[in-house]
Amino acid sequence: MIKLFQKWCDQRHDYAREWKTRTGGKIFGTFCTYVPEEILYAADILPVRVLGSHEPPDVAEPHILGMYCSFCRDVLAQGLKNRLEYLDGITIGQSCLHLRQAYTSWDMHRPTAFSYYLPMPHNIQSERSYAFLESELEDFKAAVEEFIGKQITNEDLDRGIKIVNTNRRLLKQIFELRRQDNPPITGLETMYLVLSSQLVDKRDHNKALEELLEALPQRELDRETGHRLMILGSENDDTAFITMAEGLPIEAMFVIDDHCTGTRYFWNECVPRENRLAAIAARYIERPPCPTKDWPVRKRISHILEIADKWNVDGVVIIQQKYCDPYELDIPAIKQALEEVGLPALFLEYDVAVPEGQFRIRVETFLEMLENEDLF
């Protein structure tokens, strides 16, 4: 069953093309998890997260600064190479400056029929952010309505909310199973689950998740859990690193994460209200925040410590894209908070692709340290 989710990740473009042929529907590329997918599903538009290829972004350099993170340069390269030629539109919910530049350059040099920059507020801790985002969602909805040529009704929004909420709920149920002493699913497998949920029609994904949930309680892995690890930091969809870390001689497994390609994407649901757009706005404001929005009070740290405790983590891997400014500012405070509660942390920084050989040595050393701590 897991192989289906992996196939969706590995063959994401083939799935999108087949979906478009089968349904005749429109597909929008989303540059950030702050894009309100509920509205797109209400409009019968398939949102597809634009991710990198982990190849050198050779064509992006003239259009984006080399000091911008590798993920943003890689994303832009996918657009310039026209690897997502099936997209009818692109849209971004404001997050970091680097990703915004990737979106802007894509829109300039590889324009699509629809493009929309959504000014998602940065100061989400302000009470005014709710009314601000609700107003911006009204404008976004109107732009989508103009593009599809029909009104998006409350019934449509209810349908969109239900589709996305169901996916969030099912993913969280699977993540709850990872709290067990011997989880029935590995960190690599759950990465495929969450990544694929951002790439395929959630109605297809929900059916597959429901089938998986029926089978998981009886599933036993042919390996030990080993050290229970948490991974957090910059956007990370590089399965090669997880495969390496979970396959070392000293056994370890990632049981929880704090990533926008992981738990932050699905952690909280949209709570229904009479005003549907107000409900959607509240969901995105109240979700576990990206560091670009985690101010003036760092609320994200308490969330990280809470899930680390609930999932009984004994070590944390912090992985950061080189030049990722928001995380460079965020990580020192997180490392200090982890140290204060006695959680060892390993910091890794990479550019374009994970240097597997170097990281293998460092992760092995970290796991050996955890082994020696267990002796005392």
Is 27 inside any structural domain?
Answer: yes
Region 98-124: mean pLDDT is: 95
**Statement: residue 74 has pLDDT above 80:** yes
Nearest to 156 by CA among 280, 268, 266, 269: 280
**Statement: residue 307 has pLDDT above 90:** yes
Region 168-197: mean pLDDT is: 97
What is the pLDDT at residue 199? 97
Is 365 inside any structural domain?
Answer: no
Region 236-250: mean pLDDT is: 91
What is the pLDDT at residue 194? 97
Nearest to 168 by CA among 277, 292, 33, 291: 33
- Higher pLDDT: 140 or 326? It is 140
Q: Which pLDDT band holds residue 167 (cuts at 50, 70, 90)? A: very high
pLDDT tens by residue, 76-89 = 999 999 999 999 99
Tally of CB atoms within 10 A around 138: 12
**Statement: residue 7 has pLDDT above 50:** yes
Torsions phi, psi for 350 (to 5 deg): -140, 165
- Tokens 């009479």 locate to 274
Q: Which amino acid is at 299?
A: K
Alpha carbon 326 to its chain centroid, in Å, reads: 16
Q: Which pLDDT band holds residue 121 (cuts at 50, 70, 90)? A: very high
Alpha carbon 105 to its chain centroid, in Å, reads: 22
**Statement: residue 60 has pLDDT above 90:** no
Is 246 inside any structural domain?
Answer: no
Q: Which domain holds residue 62?
A: 8-148
- CATH number, position 48: 3.40.50.11890
Tokens of 245: 């870390």
Rounded distance, CA 37 to CA 39, Å? Answer: 5
Domain count, the chain: 1
- Tokens 């997050």 locate to 95
For the chain, the average pLDDT equals 93
**Statement: residue 2 has pLDDT above 70:** yes
Region 86-101: mean pLDDT is: 94
**Statement: residue 291 has pLDDT above 70:** yes
What is the pLDDT at residue 58? 77
Region 26-33: mean pLDDT is: 96
Is 184 inside any structural domain?
Answer: no
**Proportion of the chain above pLDDT 70, given as a percent:** 98
Q: What is the CA radius of gyration of the chain?
A: 20
How far is residue 315 from each of residues 95, 202, 253, 310, 335, measured CA to CA in Å? Answer: 28, 33, 10, 13, 12
Write a three-state SS string for the chain. Answer: CHHHHHHHHHCHHHHHHHHHHHHCCEEEEECCCCCCHHHHHHCCEEEEECCCCCCCCCCCHHHCCCCCCHHHHHHHHHHHCCCCCCCCEEEEECCCHHHHHHHHHHHHHCCCCEEEEECCCCCCCCCHHHHHHHHHHHHHHHHHHHHHCCCCCHHHHHHHHHHHHHHHHHHHHHHHHCCCCCCCCCHHHHHHHHHHHCCCCHHHHHHHHHHHHHHHHHCCCCCCCCEEEEEEECCCCCHHHHHHHCCCCCCEEEEEEECCCCHHHHCCCCCCCCCHHHHHHHHHHHCCCCHHHCCCCCCHHHHHHHHHHHCCCCEEEEEEECCCHHHHHHHHHHHHHHHHCCCCEEEEEEECECCHHHHHHHHHHHHHHHHHHHCC
Q: Which pLDDT band holds residue 375 (cuts at 50, 70, 90)? A: very low
pTM: 0.95
Q: Which pLDDT band holds residue 352 (cuts at 50, 70, 90)? A: low
Q: Which pLDDT band holds residue 63 (cuts at 50, 70, 90)? A: confident
Rounded distance, CA 195 to CA 15, Å? Answer: 14
Nearest to 350 by CA among 254, 256, 191, 233: 233
Q: Which pLDDT band holds residue 349 (cuts at 50, 70, 90)? A: confident
**Statement: residue 302 has pLDDT above 90:** yes
Greatest alpha-carbon pair distance for the chain in Å reads: 67
Is 140 inside any structural domain?
Answer: yes
Is 258 inside any structural domain?
Answer: no
Is 143 inside any structural domain?
Answer: yes
Which of the residue ranges 200-204, 295-299, 334-338, 351-355 would you say has the lowest mean pLDDT? 351-355
Instruction: Give 105's contacts (C-beta < 8 A, 6+ positions apart).
Output: 60, 63, 64, 76, 79, 80
Q: HSE of 367 in the Cβ direction (CA atoms, 13 Å)?
A: 23
**Statement: residue 374 has pLDDT above 60:** no
Q: Which pLDDT band holds residue 354 (cuts at 50, 70, 90)? A: low
Burial of 186 (C-beta count, 10 Å sphere; 0-12/13-18/19+): buried
Tally of CB atoms within 10 A around 299: 14
What is the pLDDT at residue 236? 80
What is the pLDDT at residue 56? 72
What is the pLDDT at residue 373? 73
Is 279 inside any structural domain?
Answer: no
**Statement: residue 139 has pLDDT above 50:** yes
